[in-house]
Structure 1
Amino acid sequence: MPTTKPAPSAREQELLERAYSYSLTHGLADLSLRPLATAIGSSPRVLLFLFGSKDGLIRALLARARSDELALLEQLRYDEQPGLDVIGRELWTWLSAPERRPLMNLWVEAYGRSLVSPDGPWGDYARSTVDDWLELLEASQPDAASNHARARRTAVLALLRGALLDLLATGDLDRTTRAVEQHLTR
Structure 2
Amino acid sequence: MSTTKPAPSARETELLELAYAYSLTHGLADLSLRPLAAAIGSSPRVLLFLFGSKDGLIRALLARARSDELDLLERITDRYDEPPGLDVIARELWTWLAAEERRPLMKLWVEAYGRSLVAPDGPWTDFARSTVDDWLELLRTAQTGSGTTQTQQARRTAVLAVLRGALLDLLATGDVKRTTAAVNEYLAH
| Structure 1 residues without counterparts, runs of 5 or longer | none
Structure 1 residues 47 and 175, CA, compared in 2 at 3 Å: closer, same or farther? same
8 Å CA contact 1:144–1:150 kept in 2: the answer is no
8 Å CA contact 1:12–1:50 kept in 2: the answer is yes
Aligned to 1:179: 182
How far apart, CA to CA, are the structure 1 residues paired with 2:143 and 2:81? 12
- Name the amino acid aligned to 1:6: P
What pairs with 1:5-44 in structure 2 (closer than 5 Å)?
A: 5-44=5-44
Verify: 1:149 aligned to 2:128, yes or no.
Answer: no
How far apart, CA to CA, are the structure 2 residues paired with 1:165 and 1:2? 42
Give 1:79 shift.
Answer: 2.1
Give 1:145 shift.
Answer: 6.2
- Name the amino acid aligned to 1:166: D
- Name the amino acid aligned to 1:182: E
Q: 90, 93, 98: which one pairs with 2:92?
A: 90
Structure 1 residues 155 and 34, CA, compared in 2 at 3 Å: closer, same or farther? same
How far apart, CA to CA, are the structure 1 residues paired with 2:132 and 2:143? 17
Equivalent residues, number? 186
Verify: 1:164 aligned to 2:167, yes or no.
Answer: yes
Aligned to 1:109: 111
Give 1:128 shift.
Answer: 0.1
TM-score w.r.t. length of structure 1: 0.98
Q: 128, 134, 137: which one pairs with 1:126?
A: 128
Deviations 1:27-53 (A, max 9, x none): 000000000000000000000000000
SS of residue paired to 1:46: helix
How far apart, CA to CA, are the structure 2 residues paired with 1:144 and 1:60? 40
4+ aligned runs moved over 6 Å, structure 1: none
Report sequence identity in percent. Answer: 80
Give 1:87 shift.
Answer: 0.4
Aligned to 2:49: 49
| Structure 2 residues without counterparts, runs of 5 or longer | none
How far apart, CA to CA, are the structure 2 residues paired with 1:88 and 1:144? 19
How far apart, CA to CA, are the structure 2 residues paired with 1:32 and 1:16? 15
